[in-house]
């Protein structure tokens, strides 16, 4: 049961990171529209969008790997072993082999500890990017509003000067 819980948590975290990146992308799209009025931020936004796309690519590759290279292949082997099973002991052995294989493939075994640590660091970076993107969006929005207000104020002053 513990192994299934570890697998579920790993798959859940992968999917959660995908959703966070999707939210970041949506926020970036909205920020890009605002930045039409702030062309000096174009380079910064482009860099952030490229970084986000690289992160999305890695998360999708991890999902592909887990789904098709680990789970599907292990499932196929399990079904093959179950077809040839002659006793309950054979079924249990096949299931245990299946679990060991997917735990190792999911990078949850002892040999993969360093890789899993790097993956955890990567996931933390995704969460940090989300916070930075939110801050950037709020800052851009505030700057656009401040510039609009300044333009209105300038127009009002000009009108008042002309009227005087």
Query: What pLDDT digit, counting tens, does each position of 27-64 carry?
Result: 999 998 888 888 888 888 999 999 999 999 999 999 99
Of 81, 111, 86, nearest to 97 by C-alpha is 81
Q: Are 14 and 66 in contact (CB under 8 A)?
A: yes
DSSP string, 11-57: HHHHHHHHHHHHHHHHHHHHHHHHGGG-GGGHHHHHHHHHHHHHHHH
Could you give the number of structural domains in the chain? 1
Cα 145 from Cα 38, distance rounded (Å): 11
**Which run of H or E residues covers position 9?**
helix 2-34
Cα 81 from Cα 140, distance rounded (Å) = 59
Q: Which domain holds residue 106?
A: 2-163
Mind listing the pLDDT tens digit for each residue in 80-133? 999 999 999 999 999 999 999 999 999 999 999 999 999 999 999 999 999 999
The pair of three-digit structure tokens given for residue 116, joined into one six-digit string:
């899993």
């Amino acid at each position: 049961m513990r192994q299934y819980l570890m697998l579920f948590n790993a798959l859940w975290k992968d999917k959660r990171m995908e959703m966070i990146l999707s939210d970041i992308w949506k926020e970036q799209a909205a920020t890009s529209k605002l930045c039409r009025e702030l062309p000096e931020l174009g380079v910064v936004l482009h860099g952030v969008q490229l970084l986000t796309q690289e992160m999305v690519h890695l998360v999708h590759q991890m999902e592909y790997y887990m789904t098709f290279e680990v789970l599907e292949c292990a499932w196929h082997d399990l079904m093959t072993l179950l077809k040839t099973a002659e006793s309950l002991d054979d079924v249990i052995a096949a299931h245990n082999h299946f679990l060991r294989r997917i735990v190792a493939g999911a990078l949850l075994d002892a040999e993969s500890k360093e890789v899993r640590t790097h993956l955890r660091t990567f996931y933390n970076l995704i969460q940090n990017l989300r916070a930075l993107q939110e801050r950037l969006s709020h800052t851009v929005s505030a700057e656009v509003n401040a510039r609009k207000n300044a333009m209105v104020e300038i127009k009002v002053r000009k009108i008042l000067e002309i009227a005087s």
